[in-house]
């Protein structure tokens, strides 16, 4: 019963949906860190590239993550060698949260 509960948490739902949406694989040792607005995982795209996947839950997390996406995209346009870029298809929202896919890690 605990296993079913763990798989139903909002974070797990968003992470699972993001992996499916972006066609990602996230391994057992993929957790990179957590901050005030989400969790970051190392993931592998279907073409073999390593990327960072940031996931958030809740409305406030979604709003913050979209703002972060906009700021990172603008900064990457000015300093492409200094700022990690957002993947072209790299922002998606779900019922329980949102995900941001960042360029190669």
**77-96: per-residue pLDDT in tens?**
888 777 778 888 899 999 99
pLDDT of residue 1: 47
Domains of the chain: 2-102 (3.30.200.20)
13 marked as binding residue = no
Q: Write down the pTM of the prediction.
A: 0.84
**63-72: per-residue pLDDT in tens?**
999 999 999 8
Placement of tokens 């929202």 in the chain: 93
- Whose CA is closest to 28, among 41, 11, 10? 41
pLDDT of residue 55: 97
Give the separation between CA 73 and CA 95, rounded to whole angstroms. 24
């Amino acid at each position: 019963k605990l296993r079913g509960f763990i798989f139903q948490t909002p974070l797990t739902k968003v992470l699972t949906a993001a992996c499916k949406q972006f066609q990602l694989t996230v391994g057992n040792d993929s957790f990179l860190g957590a901050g005030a607005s989400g969790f970051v995982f190392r993931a592998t795209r279907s073409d073999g590239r390593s990327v960072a996947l940031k996931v958030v839950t809740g409305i406030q997390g979604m709003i913050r993550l979209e703002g972060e996406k906009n700021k990172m995209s603008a900064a990457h346009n000015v300093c492409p060698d200094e700022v990690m870029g957002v993947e072209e298809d790299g922002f998606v929202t779900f019922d329980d949260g949102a995900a941001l896919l960042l360029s190669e890690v």
